[in-house]
Each structure stands twice: as C-alpha cells, then as structure tokens.
Chain A
Amino acid sequence: MNSSGILSVVTFVYGFAAFLYVASWIFKKSEPGRLATWVVFAGLTGNTTGIAMRWMESYTLGYGHAPLSNLYESLVFFAGTLAAVYLVIEKKYQNRIIGAFVMPFPFLAMAYASLSPNISDRIQPLLPALKSNWLIAHVVACFIGYAAFAIAFGLSIMYLIKEKDVHGNSVLLERFPKTGVLDELNHQMVMFGFLFLSVGIITGAVWANSAWGRYWGWDPKETWSLITWFIYATLLHARLTRGWHGRRIAFLSVAGFAAVMFTYFGVNLLPGLHSYGAMGQ
C-alpha cells in the first residue's frame, strides 16, 4: 500500500474518532470517548506513517523533498498536527467533549484532501522557488499555528454554546468544561497559535528575501497572514490589558479563524505568488 492509500484510510479513522467523541458526549457514555482517544492515536500513527512514506516515495521518484509542497500535502500535515495538539490537550485537561468539537477538523481536512476531485495526491517535483531549507520551517510553523487556531475556534464555539445555558438546565452541556476554563484554554491556544503564526510569517519573510530579494511584498497570502495576525493581536491586547473575557474573546477567536481559513484556501482565488498551494496542483 502506498502513502495515499494509508492516508485515505486515516481519513475514515479520524471520522470514526470524531463520531465516537460526539456519541460519547450526546449519549453521556464514557466508553466511546475512551475508545476515541485510542482511535485518534491510531489515526495519528497512520497519518505520520503516511507522511514519512510519502517522503520516501518522493526520493524513489528522484525528487526527494519533504511532503509539504502542495495543497494535498499541507492538508495531510494540518490534520496530523491538529490530532497531535488535541491529544495533548485531552491529556492535560481530561475532557473528551472538546474532542467532539475538534476532531471533526482533521477528518474534514483529510476528507477534502483525499476525496476532492480538484486536489491531486500525485507527488510532484519542487519548483525552483520552493527549493529552500526554509520550506520545512515555514510550512511546519504555519500549520502548527493553524492547528492551534482551529482548536481555539472549536473551544470558542463550545464557549458560546455553554454561555447561553446560564441556569445549567441543559443535560447536554452539563459535562462541558466550565466557561472560565473554556475561555482560558481558548486564550492559551491563541497565544500558542500566535507564536507559531509569527514564526511562520517571519520564516516566510526570510525565505522570500533569499528567493526574491524582498522580505515583504504585500502578496495576497502575505497580506492575509498579516490580517490574521492583526486580528489575534487585537484579541491578545483586548484580553491582557482591557480585561475582555468570554463572549467577546470567543467572537474574536472565531473571526481570527475565518481569516486563517481565508489565508489558507481563499487566497488561492486571488492572484499571487503562493499559487502552488492552490487546487489542481
């Protein structure tokens, strides 16, 4: 079985894990949740194996590059990072309901990568502009950041749902983490993501300076990453110094994630230098 085959299976493993987390939450049974943790673990193992195999396959083909060079490969890496960061949070906070709001993301990312007719899973050689030591650092930093923001988004949605239930009447929300915890966790994920987004933008700038002779050129992808940075910077300032909490922070986190998604997918609709991340590649 080649890497694409393994990664298609991983799609369903993540889907199953997401289903188990949702089932565990809705039916208030802990067994599916405990199983889900192992399923995510299995999925992550498959995901990592798939990436490693793809790397080796690219050497067999004579191209020899890290599998971080097109939309398919970035989605696969995104899914893996999300699953890994989620497992750390589950271990730290011992709450599996978060899984119901986070694990659908790696499933959707993998499903999009594997099933969309517009995304090719072929291993392609690197264009001259992508042949750089900065490729790995830049892509890895960006996607760790994106993964953290995706989790912050899931937590914000949980916060907004939980907050509506002021009197604690809803049975479904009973085992949700407390709003204070969700808020704090959201903030921590945003800080984590912000650091990695900054590192991603910086490594990208240094790379651009060695490839094109300018560290910043207002290319749409660059600009949108900066827009994302501005939104999360607003969130951090509002929270740290204005004492904003709860709903307003959750809304900013949702807006930030919308900007992340546009930076990732939407920019491909605009003209620019990052077109190798686009579909049909």
Chain B
Amino acid sequence: MNSWQHSPIFKFFASVQLTVTVLLTLAATSVIGTVIPQNQNLDDYLHTYGQNLYRLFSVLDMFDMYHSWWFQLLLVLLTLNIIICSMDRLPAAWKIVVKPPGFKPSRFLNASCQRQITVSSLDQAQPILEKALSRSIGQVRLEQTQHGFFLWSEKGRWTRLGVYVVHLSVVFLLAGSLIGSFWGFDGAVNIPEGETAKMIRLNNSGKSIPLDFEIRCDKFSVSYYDSGAPSEYRSTLTILENGAQVFTRDIIVNDPLRYKGINLFQSSFGNLPSQNLVLSFTSRATGMEYKEKIAPGQTVTIPEGLGSFMITEFNRDHQFKGHSIGDAFVGMMTPPNGDSVEVVLPVKFPSFDRMRKGDVIVAISETETRYYTGLQVTGDPGVWVVYTGFLLMIAGCIVTFFMSHQQICIEANTAEKICSVMIRGITNKNKIGMQKKIDATATAAIKIAKQQ
C-alpha cells in the first residue's frame, strides 16, 4: 500500500460509507423533482407556493433541481467515490487474476464451505472425485501425498473484474452525459408543408442557430384509428445541401432521421391557413351566391355594393363564446354604410355565419388542410459513450451477480485404515451454491462407493 492510500482524504473517498450515503441521498433528493414539477413558468410557481416558499425553492434551484449545483455535486461525489474505490481495490484483484497464487492446501483450511466423508478405498474414490470435480468446476490438478492425494480445481478467476466493469460503466454514463451537456443541443423547428428550414430554435435558450443543411417538409400526414385515437404521424422530409437534394425519407414517431450527427424527430404538428381559400358570399336580399378567392390580409369587394371583406387572422383553436370551435378564419365585414363586424369562419362548420343573420352570409366554399410538421432537432456526441456504458453495465452485472471465482480442494488421507476425504471450497460469492457443489461431489463419491 502506498503512503497516499493512508491519507484521510483518500480514505474518505475510498469508503463504502460514502457510497451508501451518497446513493441514499441521491434517492431521497430525487423524489423532490417528481413532486415539484420541473422547469415550469416561474409565475406558476409563485402562484402555487407563495412568496416565501418560492424564494426558498429558487435559492435551492428546486425548479430545475436535477441540474442544480448541489445535485450535480452529489453525482460528482459518486463518480469520485467509484473511481477511488476502484483504484483502491483493483490492484489486489488484478494481481489475483493475472498472477494466481497457485495451489496451497493451507489456504483451504479455514474454508467456509466444507464436507467430510469416509470412503472404503482411496484408489476407487480418486477417479470418481476427479470426475465430479471436473464436472462442477473444471480442469483438475492432482498432487500425490504420502498418505493420499490432493485434488484441486479452480474457475472464474477473471470474474473478480466484473464489478470494476460495472463501476467503469457508471463513469461512462456520467462522462457521456457531461459530453452531451457541453457539446450537445436540443432544439425544435416547425416546417410548413412544401417549405424549407435551415434555422432551428434551441429549447433552453430560445436562440436560433443554423444547421449545416436544409430540411424540406414535402408532406405531413396523420392517420387515425376507428376510435379516433391517432395511429401515426408521418412527415416526408428532404435533406438539401446548398440547394441540392441529398435524399428524401419519411419519419414517424420512434423512427427518426439521422444525418451528420443530427437527429430529426417527429414531435408535433399543426394546421396552417389554407393557401387556396374560396369564400362564398350570399346576399340575403337577392339570394345570389358569389365565390371569391381570398388570402389572409387581402380585401375583396362584395358584389351588389354590399361592402368589403378582409381575412384578419387564422386561429388554430378559436374560442367562440367560451367554446372551442377548432381551426377558424376570422374576418372583418365592412358594409358600405355602417360599422365593421367580425365574422368567424370555422373550418369544420362552413355555414356557421348564417347564425349572425347579416345582410351577407359568408361561408367557406373551398379550403384544403395544410399542415406544418413539428420536428425536434437534437445532436448529442455523448450518446455513444452512454450506450457503451449501458452495454458494459449489463455485461458487468451478469458477471458480478451470477459468476464467481470458485476453488475446491479435496484432501484425501488414510490414517489408521480409515480413508477420509475432506472437501473444501472457497468462493468470493454465493456460498450456498458452493456448498451445494461440495455436497453434490460428496454424494457422487458416496453413491459410487456403495455400489462397489
């Protein structure tokens, strides 16, 4: 042991008390963020918790606690603990794995799993024991002694490294997430059908940044089950570089597009005002119906000198007298003499305006659904580090939990015409399993001995 391993700071970081404390503290504090909704509007918090609690919570970063300095500190503490614990213990384990101490009967004297049996003859017992031992552990080494023999077998020495693989995997996970938080980004962009986008808006800062390429949304479609529940959201996207098409691909939820380290996910959609809107104007006086093509912001003159009409806005979720009526155009009707009136034209109810009982009834005659697709755009260079961590963790857990370093030593001696066989086993885990193996070996020897 080096002298630095005696320093109190090293001992603090190498202690399992620290591991247990940090793990339990992480568990306890993580609960907070599931009870206090995270990253909401600050006014909502003020409203919910009142002035005093709000101040306390904001000082402690409770509204984004998983990214707060103290939570990050706990994670750093855990990582340091893992690294230093491993540094402390790995050399000894490594030595056992690469430089096995070899067979020394004395090491087995205090073995926790033991079983003694007597057999009629050592010569008969030896092949049986050898076979049983090679079946339960592996290759057997035989050593003759003055009054008998030793049989020794060992396996799984390397499994002592499994736990370090698990620890390494946690370091990978934290390193990967750190890389992601420094060099990754998470943004969003809405692209109307037929249009191209290059800029995306970052989710955390709201800043717009350009991509290295352009994305065109050729088409968006949504399909429904008979029950009305959504079944699939699909966007056909074309990637363009310097105006030249690179490729076209459909994306759906769970099947994103990845290009140049950037991922495009289907995350939302919405309706846009139709570009081919045709309105019909019906004169109450003459009963005549006139059709006019119109675009938002444009004013059309209604025949028969009935005034003019302009589309002022398009609402995706229009509220009419407190009721939601879905997508709706809102227009302004100006009669030749008199005040302007607001006219609401819900897409779903084309003759809605009849209700107004005006001189002119405005209705939607032709419209088309036009969508925009909402894409989530992310880039995270740390993801492969994290995934490597995932694989290491699974592999390491399997080795650590279900494999062990096992050694069995069988000592056979003849003393005063009694042939005694002592079976001793050493393992670093699962003593019950080891005892079972020893009992099975003993049973095999006794059974065969009886048959003979």
Q: A-side interface residues toward B, CB under 8 Å?
A: 63, 124-125, 127-129, 131-132, 181, 184, 188, 191-192, 194-195, 198-199, 202, 205-207, 209-216, 218, 220, 223-224, 226-227, 230-231, 233-234, 237-238, 240-242, 259, 267, 270-271
Contact = CB atoms under 8 A, between A and B. Distances in A.
Interface of B: 16-17, 19-20, 23-24, 26-27, 30-31, 33-35, 37-38, 66, 177, 186, 225, 227, 229-233, 252-256, 263, 265, 267, 376-378, 380, 383, 386-387, 390, 393-394, 397-398, 401-402, 429-432
5 contacts: A191-B401, A212-B267, A213-B256, A234-B27, A241-B16
A206 B390 contact: yes
Contact of B254 (A128, A202, A214, A218): A128
B253 A131 contact: yes
A19 B37 CA distance: 43
A88 B378 CA distance: 45
B393 A213 contact: no
Contact of A209 (B26, B225, B383): B383
Given A230-B23, A242-B20, A213 B186 contact: yes
B401 A194 contact: yes
Nearest to B17: A242
Contacts of B380: 214
B31 A181 contact: no
A129 B231 CA distance: 9
A234 B20 CA distance: 5
A192 B30 CA distance: 24
Contact of A227 (B31, B263, B387, B398): B31
B397 A195 contact: yes
A238 B232 CA distance: 48
B34 A224 contact: yes
A223 B32 CA distance: 10
Indicate the member of A128, A184, A230 with the most B CB atoms within 10 Å.
Answer: A128
A211 B265 contact: yes
A207 B19 CA distance: 29
A227 B31 CA distance: 8
A132 B252 CA distance: 11
Contact of B230 (A124, A127, A216, A237): A127
Lowest 6 A-B CB distances belong to which pairs?
A230-B27, A191-B401, A128-B253, A213-B378, A220-B34, A132-B254
A210 B254 contact: yes
Given A218-B33, A231-B27, A234-B24, A192 B19 contact: no
Contact of B265 (A131, A188, A192, A212): A212
Nearest to B231: A125
A128 B34 contact: no
Nearest to B28: A227
Contacts of A224: 34
B101 to A, nearest CB: 22
Contacts of B24: 230-231, 234
Nearest to A226: B30
Indicate the member of B186, B232, B394, B397 with the most A CB atoms within 10 Å.
Answer: B397
Contact of B263 (A195, A213, A226): A213
B1 to A, nearest CB: 18
